[in-house]
């Protein structure tokens, strides 16, 4: 067994175990379903959420969705009551936060 200096398993060993689990799952599904293409799609569908979670994409995507919902809520509030200074200020801050920085050469 591959052990690192501190007695823990090395990351390459753990990655190899994950790959072997997916390969085993693929062969098992292709044997059960008699369709390797469908088995590949199922393995990819099962692996994708874990990859998105581990790489941080899911967190960024959820943050963007929450940001979009908050912006929509502020726009609706301003549309109903255009004199709502707090909503207009929050909407302006929101635009400043997500806008591209201006650089002067």
User: Is residue 97 pLDDT above 70, yes or no?
Assistant: no
Answer yes or no: do 1 and 39 share one domain.
Answer: yes
For residue 20, the model assigns a pLDDT of 82
Answer yes or no: do 45 and 71 share one domain.
Answer: no
Query: Final residue of a domain: which of 55, 81, 96?
Result: 55
Answer yes or no: do 24 and 42 share one domain.
Answer: yes
- The helix or strand, by DSSP H or E, that contains position 78, with its residue range, turns out to be helix 57-80
Q: What tokens were used for 101? A: 């920085």
Strand-pairing partners, residue 3, are 9
Answer yes or no: do 51 and 62 share one domain.
Answer: no
**Please, are residues 49 and 43 in contact by the beta-carbon 8 Å criterion?**
no
Residue 7 or residue 64, greater confidence: 64
Query: Which tens digit of pLDDT belongs to each residue from 20-58?
Result: 888 888 899 999 999 999 998 998 888 888 777 777 777
pTM of this structure: 0.46
How far apart, in whole angstroms, are the C-alpha atoms of residue 6 and residue 41? 38
The whole domain housing 2 covers: 1-55
């Amino acid at each position: 067994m591959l052990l690192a200096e501190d007695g823990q398993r090395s990351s390459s060993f753990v990655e190899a175990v994950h790959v072997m689990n997916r390969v085993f799952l693929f062969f098992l599904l292709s044997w059960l379903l008699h369709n390797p293409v469908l088995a590949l799609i199922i393995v990819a569908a099962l692996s994708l959420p874990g990859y998105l979670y581990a790489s941080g994409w899911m967190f960024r995507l959820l943050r963007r969705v929450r940001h979009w919902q908050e912006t929509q809520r502020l726009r609706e509030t301003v549309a109903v009551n255009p004199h709502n200074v707090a909503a207009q200020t929050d909407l302006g801050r929101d635009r400043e936060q997500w806008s591209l920085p201006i650089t002067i050469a």
